[in-house]
Structure 1
Amino acid sequence: VRAEHVISEKDSIQTCPLDFYPSLAEGNLSPGDSHESQRASALRAAFSAFVKAREVPAGAAGAVWWRCCRQTFRERGGIHRHVGTQHGAELRPPPRGHGHGHGHGQGQGEAHRGAAGRERGAEVCDELPDTRHLGPGELESKAGEVLLYYCYCEVRDPEKLCAWQKALCEHLHLTGKVRVASEGINGTVGGSKAATSLYIEVMLSQPLFKDILCQDDFKRSAGGAHCFPDLRVGVFKEIVPMGIDPKKVSYKETGIHLSPQEFHREVEQYLSQASQGQSDTILLDCRNFYESKIGHFQGCLAPDIRKFSYFPSYVDENLELFKNKRVLMYCTGGIRCERGSAYLRSKAVCKEVYQLKGGIHKYLEEFPDGFYRGKLFVFDDRFSICSNEDVISACRYCGTLWDQYKLCSSQHCRQLVLTCPSCRKKGLTACCPVCQEKELEATSGASGQTLKEECECTKRRPRVPVEHISTGAQSNSLPGA
């Protein structure tokens, strides 16, 4: 930003970064041009009104933060940059001869209409990108990456969006999983770097996502189309399966988003206070037990649940645990925290609820040697991606440090098992002795009955665990975390 125009008001000082608006530069703004001066005034007034309308009370008396596009900004500079880069088109004053004399009212009206348009949902553009400029084999290259992203927005026609997504992924030779709903889209896809780059470019230009998604919303990791067995695109009620009607608990009621830097500072402070028995904070892992088992933040509380759809019941059964607490939530890429924090906030028991923007994925990009230990679990054939050299989990059978998952060898079972190479050589490839016996029965033909998906692993784990509440500051932490 090369220049700033400051508007002084009695209650608030708003800074309007005019260089964020190309329309003003194109207008050749000069001190002697009364028309352009009026346009600049209209822009500053619209900018001020737009920012003012997004103020929310902060923790301290009389202090304010700002909420916009499902994000919470704690610094004025942050909301200014966001509005300037993401909402410039809505605030652009009209050209000469089109009502430029009504600066404040016109600019504010356009801002509200633009916001209302996003709330109603834009139409889906079903065009496919031109790939003729790509060289032979660029789309089919095995060397590539995996993308993880989501976007909450109102989708008028989920079926049309679903059909376009399927055609787009097939056109770019991408595999993976994409969930579409009236509340948005959630996807993880893999392919060549040429394909994934083009996919991001097309998604950012899609009218439905154009003013919401940005480059930083796509989390990248080494991989490719081979990381998924196929392509699955479908329409669902929720883009992340929490099992609660989105109309009852909306993503619009999320907790306060913290950048990786802000989250890092919060965790650092939490660990320092917890070591002295003075913390009023809970560092909450929103993922499933098998995810947190191989990697988690130091000092976290990781619920022993198998599915995210059990999370609401976990909160209900443990409300006393969260009473009058500050909660720092995190998950893989941020999407589970969107609905999870909204559900926790709906219970009105916590002091404050915060969530890690971009999830562990984004945190590790900036703090590979930070407070996260172990590997990051991913829902594809890789099962995990490396973050550091720490191994925090052990072989199911011998206890040797081991963190590479395999599917249980029993055909009826869908559990994951940590079994080291040595134990696998001994034939210990099932998730537990019960499954090992069932596998032997199936392979020997001793039983003609269809075997159910039940084993020692699931029987001994309560569906919704109740945490032991203690006055100790770290009583809710993972053992050894």
Structure 2
Amino acid sequence: MKGGIRTKKGPKTQKKLARRKAFALFVKTLRSKKDDGRWMCCNEDFSDIVKVHKHVAMVHRDNIDKTANHIIQDFEVKGQSGRQEGNVSEDATMQHCSSTEIERPDDGCHDDEAFHYQLPTLEEIQDVETKEVPVDGQILLYYKYTDIDNPQEVCDWQENLCSKLKLTGKVRIAREGLNGTVGGSLQASQLYIKYTRLHASFSDMSLEDFKTSPGNVEDFPDGLRVTVHTEIVPMGVDPQQISYHQAGGHLTVDEFHDTLQKLNTDGNQDTVLVDCRNFYESKIGKFTSALAPNIRKFSYWPEYVEKNLHVFENKKVLMYCTGGIRCERGSAYLRSKSICKEVLQLKGGIHKYIEKYPNGYFRGKLFVFDERFAMPANSDVISECTYCRAAWDSYRPCTSKHCHQLVLSCRECRQRGRTACCEECQRIADDLSKDIESRKEEIHVREECSCTRLRDRIPVEKS
């Protein structure tokens, strides 16, 4: 490496050690001269070392970087005399970096961890706040499977980051990683990507990992929700039992497209193309010739696999979903059955595929989990109005207060008052509205209409 010192673990180790020392030195300068366990910084009095570390990590990044660079340069000078074959021993480097004792909080939030909870600068935040949220903003869809030791701290940081950037949407944090979709101005979304990638757990995320589409804060009417869960996408199986580390192999968009082209040409009976999404998603858009399970939730996927092992046995399985996240755990579960020849998944999901092949093998619209409900991929309409069977693919929520289904009701039918998910649901809503006071308990019962009762919870596919 030109102009740098190499330890036995390489320059990354040295940079990390230099940052540790720089962080410790900075914190030490803030300590009260009275040695009363207090620190002063930015006209603020701190008595909690954890809060000091987080404050320094979030606000004084530039100071830390400059000091770390000086330390690395100092390594260069002091290491010349003891360098053999271009290397300085790791022990010498460690000794040099640990000359100043680093204070560490009792709860495990070490300085090198806190350093990564960074937020935009005051100037960046003020620039976002002074601008009106444009109509033509941007929505981000992203995920990262990675081991996280402190999900609540990551959750607090993410909530703070999104709030400062005036982003809305949903972010899920778990010990297995991060999953989110947020919307706001173009500038805010770019800053979000920048600061999320500065965290050690997400530093290897590329710009390609953040899928973008037109939208804004209004596409998430419930505002911002950042929460900690057991899974970043709810499959209903403990990640320690079925881990993302067991996922199937990834195919790039081009590789997936070429494979489908060959599949559609040769009609290979040993290959199964399966949609990992819910039935209402595949109803308005899917890959041609794909098996689309008629399940309502991803948490039904394990049971679906168990009841349909005959579909996948001795087959090469190609899987896809919206952005790729469900395929990670979904393919891992399928592989755990040890019945398939091979399990592969589309990297980046449908979202990435239609960016490059809008007129490829995916036909219809891509369902999204915000107020847009769908993104157009091409001009094909593969679904129909629930009532008149006319071609229609624009979802709206069922207007019955007891129901949470989505409705495909065309413009003409909606004008006639057909706004519920089915005729039975419409009757239930009408009955409840007649005497609300005497039937309050019924209003809060779980929905029960032909949309749910007449469809098998877990379908069994034909051989």
Separation in 2, partners of 1:425, 1:299: 35
Aligned length, in residue pairs: 373
- 1:359 aligned to 323, 339, 349, which one? 349
The residue number in structure 1 matching 2:232 is 239
- The residue identity in structure 2 corresponding to 1:389 is S
Deviations 1:166-200 (A, max 9, x none): 11111000000000001111000000101001101
* C-alpha contact 1:123 1:208 (8 A) present in aligned 2: no
| 1:148 Cα offset (Å) | 0.4
Summarize the alignment of residues 8-407 of structure 1 with structure 2, pairs less than 5 Å apart.
Answer: 23-24=1-2, 26=3, 97=80, 101=85, 123-124=113-114, 125-133=116-124, 134=127, 137-138=130-131, 140-210=133-203, 212-229=204-221, 230-274=223-267, 278-407=268-397
* C-alpha contact 2:118 2:195 (8 A) present in aligned 1: no
3-state DSSP class of the match of 1:454?
coil
Separation in 2, partners of 1:309, 1:280: 27
Deviations 1:126-170 (A, max 9, x none): 332015252664363333011000011111111111111111111
The residue number in structure 2 matching 1:111 is none
3-state DSSP class of the match of 2:344?
strand
Separation in 1, partners of 2:370, 2:451: 22
Q: Decide whether aligned partners of structure 1 residues 192 and 100 sit closer, same or farther in structure 2, where only a CA change above 3 A counts.
A: farther
Q: Which has the higher helix share?
A: 2
* C-alpha contact 1:281 1:328 (8 A) present in aligned 2: yes
Separation in 1, partners of 2:138, 2:341: 40
Instruction: Pick the structure with greater CA Rg.
Output: 2
| 1:428 Cα offset (Å) | 0.6
CA-atom RMSD, angstroms?
2.9
3-state DSSP class of the match of 1:239?
coil
* C-alpha contact 1:318 1:467 (8 A) present in aligned 2: yes
Separation in 2, partners of 1:220, 1:100: 49
| 1:320 Cα offset (Å) | 1.2
Structure 1, unpaired ranges of 5+: 1-22, 28-35, 44-93, 107-121, 470-481
| 1:102 Cα offset (Å) | 8.9
3-state DSSP class of the match of 2:163?
helix
Matched, 1:461 2:451: no
Deviations 1:252-279 (A, max 9, x none): 11111010000000111111122xxx43
Deviations 1:395-441 (A, max 9, x none): 00001000000011100100011000100011111001111001111
* C-alpha contact 2:244 2:329 (8 A) present in aligned 1: yes
3-state DSSP class of the match of 2:232?
coil
Structure 2, unpaired ranges of 5+: 11-74, 91-111
* C-alpha contact 1:394 1:401 (8 A) present in aligned 2: yes
The residue number in structure 1 matching 2:432 is 442
3-state DSSP class of the match of 1:205?
coil
3-state DSSP class of the match of 1:458?
helix
Question: TM-score if structure 2 supplies the norm length?
Answer: 0.75
* C-alpha contact 1:282 1:326 (8 A) present in aligned 2: yes
- The residue identity in structure 2 corresponding to 1:433 is E
Question: TM-score if structure 1 supplies the norm length?
Answer: 0.73
| 1:444 Cα offset (Å) | 2.2
